[in-house]
Structure 1
Amino acid sequence: MADIGQLIRDAPPVARTLAGATVLISFSSLVLRILDPMHFVYIPEVVFSIRGLHGISGLQVWRLVTSFLLTGPGLSVLMDPFFLFKYASDCERMKLSRKGDFTVFLVFVGSIILLLNTFIVHGMTFCSPLILALAYYWSSFSPPGTRVNFFIAQFPVKFLPWIMLLMTLVQGGNVFLDLTGIVASHAYIFLTEIWPEHGGGSNWLQAPADVVEGWYEKAERAMATPAPPPPRVAPRVAPRAAAAGGSVGVGAAPGATGSSFFGGSSGWSHRGQGHKLGG
């Protein structure tokens, strides 16, 4: 358990958050069944329409995010978060080391997956295509001679996303749904690497990545700055009562009880001598 805790603490922050949210939503919905998974899937008519669909209220924009955090049932509840954590961590450590770059990668890839599924594939959950997108990107920058183990087989790293796509086909999954992740990841590689290096264009995603990185740095500085100490308040000096004459020591607070009623400079001491009524 200590090793698992250390592994989680050492994981890159964005990958750790992404995998943790996937475990939380998927386990609560598909295993414990304390949440309805239909509240998290992607339904365009519910997300973008004010009227909603079949009694479901509209403008449920959180589905744009939660549809990527819901795995399939059965063994996928364990395996999908594992692969998501592995490839997201590798990408964030090796290539997308700035949190701003990795965040923009996720937003861009997720947007392409949503776009393709809105008009072509019509999928409802996108954890699997997101894993394929991360695996495709990771395999693209790995050294050419690298070999990876996938279950009991070993093969060159460039074949990794296609082997995973084949596994989806063997298990009876939606191959076209997973293929949207590969298309989205390739589009990111084209805009950030192929087009700037070989087409003479600009990396249009660099500017938003720099802006997001600045947000992260600002938030980290705010959290690291210690709070200013509270202002010191000078202790209030209590009046010292006189031993015999009832006088108050120097510095006594004016109007204090000892000063007013027991021989101070004001109060009853200047009211004159008392006389008995009728005397």
Structure 2
Amino acid sequence: MSSEVMDAFWRAPPMARTLASAILITSMGIYFGPLPSTWFYFTEDRLFRLPPEIWRLASNFLLSGPKLSIVMDPYFVFQYLGELETTNPRFPTKEAALWYLMTVGGFIIILNRAFLGGGFFLQALLLALCYTSVQDQRGMKANFFFFQVPAQTVPYCMILVGMLSSQSPAAVPTQLSGIVAAHLYDFLTRLWPEFGGGPNLLPAPGFLSRLVTTPRVFQREYGTAIRGGGGQTSGSSTGASAGSVLPDSWKTRGSGHRLG
């Protein structure tokens, strides 16, 4: 049973499973374990210390809400980010989805620190992922818990459910900042090029392609494989070369003679 669960985990979209797992582990560690929340929240002054605490640019998205949100927030992140990775035509490559996370996350931090305050912004990122995921589903129906609603209204249904469950509207501005950040990304990368005739103002940088590309040399249990230009691999620990079943050391012994 455990092997089946692990197989399903490793078959899941890599960024979705990694981010959802990080949120679940961090949230449980903060709410029930030894992790202090002061290690994770975002504040500008920590970026200018020596050494700079640059991990806070990402760690502020790793704390879910309390109670049932500890499970539901990672689940929704996994669902919507997985859809962007695997089925959304706007993100045909891993680097495109990664660049989306980086830029939208940056917009969320700027909007909140400039106008709203706060130090944890997962709720905003979750709404951004949901908003982007349903943009190509306008006019279709989507399942939201036990109800069917127009797909484009799912982000606002999530805000309403959050208000009803927590009995507090305090998180609504932060959630709305995620929708604004996702819409800003959509405008700069799709609406402006398609309808304004301009270029894509947020193209993915080239270094991301090199970052997510599979390395040419990788280790296997039975040796080292080197990926060639044509995508084929050759074993270096078997002692055999292509086209022959004899080890290389035998080929240096001459042509050989038959006994008798």
TM-score exceeds 0.5:
yes
Instruction: Give the conservation status (yes or no) of the 8 Å contact 1:132–1:178.
Output: yes
Q: Which one-letter code corresponds to 1:34 in the other structure?
A: P
1:175 aligns with 2:172: yes
Q: Which amino acid aligns with 1:42?
A: F
1:162-219: per-residue Cα shift (whole Å, max 9, x none)? 11122233321410111111111111111111000000111133341x54123322x4
Report the Cα distance in structure 1 between the residues aligned to 2:139 and 2:58, rounded to whole angstroms: 36
Which stretch of the first structure deviates more once superposed, 3-12 or 22-31? 3-12
Indicate yes or no: 2:212 matched with 1:216: yes
State the partner residue of 1:122: 117
Determine which of 202, 206, 209 is the counterpart of 1:205: 202
1:189 matched to 2:186:
yes
* Number of residue equivalences: 223
Alignment of 1:1-279 (within 5 A): 1=1, 4-31=5-32, 33-49=33-49, 59-95=52-88, 96-142=91-137, 144-170=138-164, 171=166, 172=168, 173-208=170-205, 210-217=206-213, 219-223=214-218, 226=225, 228-229=236-237
More strand by share: 2
CA radius of gyration, larger in:
1
Give the % identical residues: 35
**Counterpart residue identity of residue 141, structure 1:** D
CA gap of 1:106–1:73, structure 2 versus 1, over 3 A, is same
Gaps of 5+ in 2: 227-235, 240-246, 250-260
| 2:225 counterpart SS class | coil
Deviation at 1:46, TM superposition (A): 2.6
Secondary structure of 2:142 counterpart: strand
TM-score by length of 2: 0.77
Any gaps of 5 or more consecutive residues in structure 1? Answer: 51-57, 235-279
In the alignment, the residues of structure 2 paired with residue 221 and residue 164 of structure 1 have an alpha-carbon distance, to the nearest angstrom, of 43
Distance 1:59 1:213 in 2: 26
Whole-angstrom distance in 2 between the partners of 1:70 and 1:222: 36
Report the TM-score when normalising by structure 1. 0.72
